[in-house]
Structure 1
Amino acid sequence: MVRLTVDLIAKSINHKNRKEESLAQYLRKITHLNLSDKNIDTIDDLSLCRNLNVLYLYDNQIRQIHNLGFASNLTHLYLQNNCISCIENLTSLKKLEKLYLGGNYITVVEGLETFEELRELHVESQQLPLGEKLLFDPRTLHSLAKSLSVLNISNNNIDELGELALLENISHLIAVDNQLHHVKDLEFVLNKWTKLCRMDLKGNPVCRKPKYRDRLIIQSKTLVT
């Protein structure tokens, strides 16, 4: 396996960019770092990269989120398709706007209580234990209620959306390939989601209900057909 270290970053960057500066100087000023698909399993000390805005770590083997406390300027974090089972150690990332965690082993969406600016959360296609569904910590939902506008919960065995009604600023819900059965349950959250413009429910049993789309559009008033 591979540790994400400063040395690994040095091997990944274009040396032409560093002709007249040291590695440390370069690392202090970079704002974007792409280390996807490097077989990384551990994040080491990257505190030199304190001005990072965007960090790509998708398609690796990372099991634990740690050593990112330095990245207080981070706005976009891509961690999809790793081996992460717990959302943790992100409390310092107060400027985070987009968080990508799809394709991991997360069973509970939690640990996001300090994210007042998070606009997009992608937690689709978790590797869940047989028969279980993705759960949401009420504290995290309360914290995200006013900021979150895009939520991707596709392919997570979700059978109802009632607890997500707290997310009052949702404008785009992606809930493909879940277990949503009842139009009435959807109508309930639509009454709460007064800013919802797009809702993707393909692959849910409710899609086989007669005129389900018409009922939802009538109920919502804001959904785009």
Structure 2
Amino acid sequence: MSSAPSATARRPGADAAAQKNKVPSKTTIKAGKKGSTSREKAGKGQREEENEYDSLEYIAPLPEEDEKACQPPQKISTKLVARRAFGEEALAGLTGDEIADRVLVLQHVRLDDERVEEIDNLEMLGVGVSHLYLQRNLISTIENLESMRNLQLLCLASNSITVLENLLCLASLKALDVGYNLIQKVQPGQVPASVLYLTTDGNPLEEMGEGEWKEVFEDLPLLRTHDCVDVDRGDGSEGED
């Protein structure tokens, strides 16, 4: 994969992420921190924001022998969301309406590793959802995100996505992880301009040249890191504060 133009690596062993077939079943990659100059200029609110998104997890693909591979795909439902959020025991004895009410107040929704094929039925979630984790599923198309207008973090890593699309409705998005999919090209205008942290590592993007990445980054004025590497704008800056 072509890396960001004129970027400075910020974590050791960055090339290891490209070794898709050699990673263990679960690998967490922490985004590095910004340079000291940026931190000195940052206020308390921004430092808290960076701490939150610097801990963005990336979970590597499951091995082929994973025990869930033989299980049928499932759809996103209130029951699935609630089970992941609260556990079966906590839901025992609750009515359907009571479960739905609990789901409505969730801010972080984890649906990773659930053999989900389609992004749908998100209208059941409340407008307060800020984090949506859909990594390690069977998703091939990015769709039906219009109701997620306050979403700040979206993880779609380790799916079967071929095109970045239908993301511009996420005007509050700050962190997007689409690592280890089947994306061959990132086009200008496909990623919301609000994004600060972008991960595309592990996609077949070898044909993306430095000039093409520069065009993508020009449409992302707030972008700070791409694949855990500081984005160099060519004028000495590393993204906008």
TM bracket (short chain): 0.5 to 0.7
- 1:117–1:99: structure 2 CA closer, same or farther, 3 Å change rule? same
The correspondence of residues 12-161 of structure 1 with structure 2, limited to 5 A, is 12-14=84-86, 16=90, 22-49=98-125, 50-110=127-187, 112=189, 115-127=192-204, 132-134=206-208, 136=212, 140-144=216-220, 146-152=221-227
Structure 2 unaligned blocks of 5 or more: 1-72
Q: C-alpha displacement at 1:141, in angstroms?
A: 3.2
Distance across 2 between alignment mates of 1:103 and 1:30: 27
Compared CA separation, residues 43 and 134, structure 1 to 2 (3 A): same
More relative contact order, 1 or 2 (CA 8 Å, 6+ apart): 2
Partner Cα separation in structure 1 for residue 163 and residue 106 of structure 2: 28
The structure with the larger Rg is 1
Whether the 8 Å contact between 1:81 and 1:103 is mirrored in structure 2 is yes
How big is the shift at 1:14? Answer: 1.5
Question: Alignment partner of 2:219: what SS?
Answer: helix
Q: 2: distance between equivalents of 1:125 and 1:78?
A: 14
TM-score, with length taken from structure 2: 0.58
Aligned mates of 2:177, 2:233 — CA distance in 1: 28
Q: Which amino acid aligns with 2:119?
A: I
Q: Is the 8 A contact 1:81 1:102 kept in 2?
A: yes
Q: SS of the counterpart of 1:61?
A: coil
In structure 2, which of residues 71, 74, 85 is the aligned counterpart of residue 2 of structure 1? 74
How many residue pairs match? The answer is 160
TM superposition score normalised by structure 1: 0.61
Structure (1 or 2) with the greater strand fraction: 1
- Aligned residue for 2:122, secondary structure, equals coil
Distance between the aligned counterparts of 2:149 and 2:104, measured in 1?
13
Tell me: CA distance 1:149–1:10, structure 2 relative to 1, closer, same or farther (3 Å). Answer: same
Q: Distance in 1 between matches of 2:199 and 2:104?
A: 29
The alignment's C-alpha RMSD in Å is 2.9
Q: Does 1:192 align with 2:230?
A: no
Distance in 2 between residues matched to 1:191 and 1:143, nearest whole Å: 12
Against the structure 1 CA distance between its residues 134 and 2, is the aligned structure 2 distance closer, same or farther, given a 3 Å change threshold? farther
Aligned residues of 1:87 and 1:111 also touching (Cα < 8 A): no
Identity of aligned residues (%): 24
Q: Displacement of 1:4 after TM fit?
A: 1.9
Match of 2:45 in 1: none
Tell me the distance in 2 between the aligned counterparts of 1:111 and 1:42: 25
